[in-house]
Amino acid sequence: MPYVDRMTIAVPRLSRSTVAGYSLGSVGTGGFATLPGLVLAYYLTDTLGVAAAAASVVVFAPKALDLLVNPLIGSRSDAEAARTGTRRRFLLLGALTLPVFFALTFAVPTGLSALAGCLWVGTAFIAAAVAFSLFQVPYIALPAELTDDYHERSRLMSWRVALLGVAILLFGAGGPALRELGGGGRPGYLVMGVVAGLILGLGMLASWRIAPRGPATNVDSTASHGISESLAAVRSSSAFRFLLGTFVLQALATGCMLGGAQYVATYVLDAEDAVSFLFVALVGPAVAVMPLWTRLVRQWGKQRAFFLASGLFLVAALALLGLLSGPGGWVYAVVALAGIGYAGMQMLPMSMLPDVISDHETRSAGAVRAGAFSGVWTAAETVSMALGPAVVLLVLAATGFVSSAGADPAPQSDTAITGIVLAFALVPALLVAASMWALRGYRLAAEERNRNH
């Protein structure tokens, strides 16, 4: 079939059911990205008695496999989409298997040693990460196939990130609450894992229902979708490289803040359940200001709005260094400012990615590469998010943090408390500053057209 430039075809406005179904997938993706980053390291060090350095390996190593798995899933889903016009099989398989392995991650039996607990969590988390990738890679590819319109993608992503905010609130505040409702300790984590896993799966199934069903049209069905060809296509896009670099640094920054939040709540704010309030302070404003970022895209373009969002987050992260002088109610106001920036840092790059994908597919005469781009994107994202808690644990280990397997937190030295604050505030600030430098290199014709429109 001859290639037809999709950018020349009038694209209808996305239906409400499509926007809602796609957005609900963020309940699954946001929940899996948030809850392990929030509690998994703490589960290992303060429930299973695993040393911080060893826990950092358990947290990071399973996700590191995404560097191999996600690009492979992306190329395979591209091949299927080129042949059948759909990625639904991948979406369904991930949605059905993730809840099982997620629950098993937090189901370490009583009586196992710390070493055995490490192996149990590591094995289950590897399986959960693979299941998540089966869904996440085609899910991130969908916006480029649902619409070709620059602003419709912003609309789609604004709703997706709004639901992502709800998911972060649900899992960030509700996860620890479920843990306590289940009795705390190992039983509490098991209850949390089972209930959260079921909610993850339901959100993913909603996106599976709205995914295109085929048949394939306006694509080059003769293009090769081997892993080497897919990676070569991704490397050829300069805009993607700069956008990915920006996003990776910010995902790592977010992962550090997530990984450090529970330690800040317990050892700096002296209230383990304060982590829920920190999440409400971060994500509540993020949901409320989403229309602001959508309007700014129409006035400024996505890249300039992205700079503003990143700058707001950077200022807030630096202000959180005030925790070194002492905690107070001001912390929640500063975290709320970070939440305004965080909303844009989530929505804007995700609406820029399908622009990059469409630009490449137009230049390559219709070769289906959305899965290749989303495979590399999600691999980098999940590794960065997993590396965040691992970086926090390494900082804690270097500053003398003492792990505990008992009901009460172990006393910490002033140096360890300083390490917690630096991991939570200074490290994210430095990473976001570096990301803003990377964003300067992003260039795309669609961005220039809509900025000057």
Give yes or no for a contact between 309 and 344, defined as CB atoms under 8 angstroms apart.
yes
Q: What is the span of the domain harbouring residue 237?
A: 19-209+224-451
For residue 260, being part of any structural domain is answered with yes
Judge whether 301 lies within some domain.
yes
Domain count, the chain: 1
The amino acid sitting at 12 is P
* Alpha-carbon gap, residue 72 to 62, rounded angstroms: 16
> At a CB cut-off of 8 Å and minimum separation 6, what does 388 contact?
37, 251, 252, 253, 254, 255, 256, 257, 258, 259
Assigned domain for 116 exists: yes
Handedness of CA 48, 390, 307, 447 (dihedral sign): negative
Structure tokens at 108: 């370490």
CATH number at residue 187: 1.20.1250.20
* pLDDT given at position 206: 93
The answer to whether position 391 is within a domain reads: yes
Domain membership flag for residue 193: yes
The Cα angle at residue 124 between residues 102 and 263, in degrees rounded to 5 = 70
- pLDDT for 215 equals 63
pLDDT in the model for residue 25? 92
Contact predicate 423/256, CB 8 Å:
yes
Which CA distances in Å does 276 have to 79, 173, 257, 325? 43, 4, 14, 22
Distance from C-alpha of 449 to C-alpha of 453, rounded to nearest angstrom? 6
pLDDT of the residue at 218: 55
How is the chain split among helix, strand and coil, in percent rounded to 5?
Answer: 80, 0, 20
Is 68 inside any structural domain? yes
End-to-end CA distance of the chain: 34
28 in Cβ contact with 203 (< 8 Å): yes
55 burial via Cβ count (<10 Å: 0-12, 13-18, 19+): buried
* Separation in Å, CA 352 to CA 7, 378, 451: 16, 14, 13
Bond prior to 176 in cis (omega within 30° of 0): no
- Tens-binned pLDDT, residue by residue, of the chain (453 aa): 333 444 444 457 888 889 899 999 989 888 887 788 778 888 888 888 887 777 878 877 777 788 889 999 988 888 888 888 788 899 999 999 999 999 999 999 888 888 888 889 988 998 998 999 999 999 998 888 888 888 888 888 888 888 887 887 788 778 888 888 888 888 999 999 999 999 999 999 999 988 887 665 555 455 556 677 777 878 888 899 999 999 999 989 988 887 888 888 888 888 877 877 887 888 777 778 888 888 898 888 899 999 999 999 999 999 999 999 888 889 999 999 998 998 899 899 998 998 888 888 777 655 677 888 888 888 888 778 778 878 888 898 899 887 776 667 777 888 988 999 999 999 999 999 999 999 999 988 767 666 555
Assess if residue 13 is contained within a domain: no
| Cβ atoms of 417 and 267 closer than 8 Å | yes
Asked if residue 306 is part of any domain, the answer here is yes
